[in-house]
Structure formats: structure tokens, C-alpha cells
Amino acid sequence: MNPTASSRGCVKHDPLRIEFGEEDEVRIDLGAERLLAAEKAGEKIAVEIKSFLSDSALFDFHMALGQFLNYRLVLEASEKERILYLAVPIAAYESFFQRDLPQASVRQYQVKLIVYDPVDEVIAKWIN
């Protein structure tokens, strides 16, 4: 995926590495800045990209959600201004993410999503 062209921003870190405590370091796929509007300053974001390619979308979702929540915890401790997004392919969003459990989890845990097209390498939508 080409995040620079499709997100109208610029990639600052790939991956974004953040230490937590003395022994842990997390690596979030992309750290970037996305412009909100011409008259506003850039918004710092981090993006964890998932492919949802295993035989079980539910398993992939459990793994992605766990990572997302841990990464958000680390970001809140070290880079409070950076907003975390979970990037999912459009096929997974249109099928699996329309089911009750993922919808309830996204609402409950306030997961911000980026839906991307892996073939055309573009972002289809931002969901806050």
C-alpha cells in the first residue's frame, strides 16, 4: 500500500518504534501525518495494517484488536498526540466487519479504521 499518495500525508516512520518500560518495544506499521484541511495543522497518526488472510477472519480480528489495544496503550503513554488507526482490506471490511461482534468491538473500544484496497493500493475510507 502506498500510504503517502493515498492518505494525502507523509510517512514519518516505517515502522514507528516505541519503547514501553525497560523491556518492551512495539513496532506499529506506519507513523504518518495526515492533513485534516488546508487551514488546520497536520494530525499525527500511526497505522497498524492487517491483511486478514488466514482461514479465520475471527482469529485475525482477535489478533488485530489485541495488538491495536496494546499499541494504543503505549502511544497514550509516550506520544499522546498520535492517533492510532487499524487498516483493514476492503474485502474484510465489507464482509467480516459488518457482523455484530466486530461492529460492537469497534464501537466499544473506539477503533479508528482505514479501509484500503490492496489491489489498487489506495485508501477507500477513513472511519473515526
- Per the structure, the count of domains in the chain is 1
Cβ distance 92 to 57 under 8 Å?
A: yes
Nearest alpha carbon to residue 15 among 71, 66, 60: 71
**Is 105 domain-assigned?**
no
Does the residue 119 lie in any domain?
Answer: yes
Query: Which residue range(s) make up the domain with 19?
Result: 3-83+90-100+111-123
Q: Is residue 106 part of a domain?
A: no
Domain at 70, CATH number: 3.40.1350.10
**116, part of any domain:** yes
**Res 31: pLDDT:** 60
Which residues are CB-contacts of 124 (< 8 A; sequence separation ≥ 6)? 90, 93, 115, 116, 117
pLDDT on residue 11: 52
Distance between CA atoms of 88 and 64, rounded to whole angstroms?
10
Tell me the whole-structure pTM to 2 decimals.
Answer: 0.78
In a domain, 53, yes or no: yes
Say if 10 falls within a structural domain.
Answer: yes
pLDDT at 9: 53
pLDDT of the chain along its 128 residues, tens only? Answer: 444 334 445 555 577 787 888 888 787 776 655 544 333 347 888 888 899 999 999 999 999 999 999 999 999 998 888 889 999 999 999 999 999 999 999 999 999 999 999 898 888 999 98
pLDDT at 87: 92
Any domain includes 34: yes
Q: What angle do the packed helices 100-108 and 57-78 form, to 10 degrees? A: 0
43-65: burial string, b at 16+ Cβ within 10 Å, e else: ebbbbbbbebeeeebeebbeebb
Give the N- to C-terminal CA distance of the chain in Å, as an integer: 20
Specify if 128 maps to a domain: no
